[in-house]
Amino acid sequence: MADETERPRERAVPSGRAARVGQFTRLGLGVVGGMVGEGARRLARGEGLKARDLMLTPGNVAKVTERLSHLRGAAMKLGQMISMDAGDMLPPELAQILARLRDQAHRMPPQQLNTLLKAEWGPDWRKRFKRFEPTPMAAASIGQVHRAILPDGRELAIKIQYPGVAKSIDSDVDNVATLLRVSGLLPKELDIAPLLAAAKEQLAEEADYVREGAQMMAYAERLDGDARYVLPELVEEFTTPNILAMTFVPGVPIEQLADETQELRDRVMAELIELVLRELFEFGVMQTDPNFANYRFQPDSGKLVLLDFGAARPVDPAVVDGYRRILTALGKGDRDGVIDAALDAGFVGQAAVDRHRPMVERMTDVVIEEFGRDGPFDFGDRGFVQVLRDHGMQIAEDRAAWHLPPAETLFVQRKISGTALLAANLKAKVEVRPMVEAALA
């Protein structure tokens, strides 16, 4: 979510289906117009034409970012999901769009907010509070968060869903997919239908705030007795499918730890990595959204604050088994075992291995070498990532080798990749291998 110190912008959320389709239509026409203009300029200079290069111009980057930020909802959420999934593997221009979507969100105008709250809580809703802050302390893709104080002095954080978001999920996802298709960024042969269906299902779950409240309470029970973590408590009397009311838990953004001691950064990231391993191999349930805003830190208590459980979901036992096999083979330094397990789990497609086996083996060797190093893993040293990116981009130039892992695997990998990205931002050094070995045992 956008940090409360940033200057937010007000803009009404298009809530009707026709209004949202119109936004996508204007976006598509604007992008196509930009591609035509850029193509004409390149032809005049005697340059070749590639759809990807025409799509990812600075002008089109700005158009896509602004329009998706205005729409919020599934459109913006999909962009955020892709940016956390792919990390360093995206083309720089596309990464720029998606990184900006992680941080950029408009807030609802006061009149739209008041209309929504009247519909949810009744016309006299203000009388139920001692104070309700009209300016949100955070705004994101699906909703915005306000602080409030009850007559008994309890301080709440209230997440309010943007109007029309839940009803527009299917059409928004389809429209984003169409935009990717016409841009030429995805080959026609790539079947993204299963991923789109899974994205619609997860986004519908995230838009159900009653469900999220139940997931938050269940997660708190799993961590009961572990003093390292703190979660908000659900306030059911104000919670509806479109409003999630919870106790306000103070904390600073997790990114602020970048200025703290190496020891503190290492400890915090070790606790987060341990939590991911427990989700995967112990809980069987994972909070699959690794957005940095979902973590805060309490300097006084030293505790980690965990927020946002809309994306909490069971982990398919087959996915758990796939990770177990891959990590076991990594620990043994078994290159063929890693590749076979990755194939069985759907991480990599058979065509990529058949057509580019030497390059796949080199990438696997890099991962084995990094995993097998003695001492803490230095997340701040990203040299090996560039090697993987270079090889991955070479394989990606062969569109016949493109492959989408199963959606359930992508959701889990999204959390793992996002956690590694946070560790890289904090330049943390963590003894990862012993933690993995303990989790596997």
- Per residue in 13-47, pLDDT (tens digit) is 555 555 554 554 554 444 444 444 444 444 455 54
Residues 56-68 pLDDT 10s: 455 555 555 555 5
CA count, 13 A, side-chain hemisphere, 221 = 9
For the ranges 32-36, 191-195, 363-367, the lowest mean pLDDT is seen at 32-36
Given a cut of 90, whether residue 242 has pLDDT beyond it is: yes
- For residue 115, what are the contacts with CB-CB under 8 A and spacing of at least 6? none
pLDDT band at 428 (very low <50, low <70, confident <90, very high): very high
pLDDT at position 5, please?
40
Do 326 and 347 contact (CB within 8 A), yes or no? yes
Given a cut of 90, whether residue 410 has pLDDT beyond it is: no
Distance, CA of 208 to CA of 373 (rounded, Å): 44
For the ranges 12-26, 112-126, 147-161, 312-326, the lowest mean pLDDT is seen at 12-26
Given a cut of 70, whether residue 248 has pLDDT beyond it is: yes
Distance, CA of 257 to CA of 251 (rounded, Å): 12
pLDDT at position 226, please?
96
Residues 70-104 pLDDT 10s: 455 555 555 555 544 444 444 555 555 555 555 55
Residues 314-331 pLDDT 10s: 999 999 999 999 999 999
Given a cut of 90, whether residue 108 has pLDDT beyond it is: no
pLDDT at position 85, please?
43
Distance, CA of 421 to CA of 408 (rounded, Å): 20
- Residues serving a catalytic function are 289
Q: Which domains does the chain have, with CATH numbers?
A: 9-105+168-186 (no CATH), 109-161+208-249 (3.30.200.20), 254-441 (no CATH)
Given a cut of 80, whether residue 298 has pLDDT beyond it is: yes
- For residue 152, what are the contacts with CB-CB under 8 A and spacing of at least 6? none
Do 304 and 272 contact (CB within 8 A), yes or no? yes
Taking each helix axis from N to C end, the angle separating 193-206 and 407-425, rounded to the nearest 10 degrees, works out to 70
- What average pLDDT does this structure show over 198-219? 92
Given a cut of 60, whether residue 360 has pLDDT beyond it is: yes
End-to-end CA distance of the chain: 36
pLDDT at position 52, please?
47
pLDDT at position 27, please?
47
- What average pLDDT does this structure show over 128-146? 90
Distance, CA of 40 to CA of 233 (rounded, Å): 58
Given a cut of 60, whether residue 146 has pLDDT beyond it is: yes
- What average pLDDT does this structure show over 303-320? 96
Given a cut of 80, whether residue 259 has pLDDT beyond it is: yes
For the ranges 4-18, 277-291, 376-390, the lowest mean pLDDT is seen at 4-18
Share of the chain above pLDDT 70, in %: 73
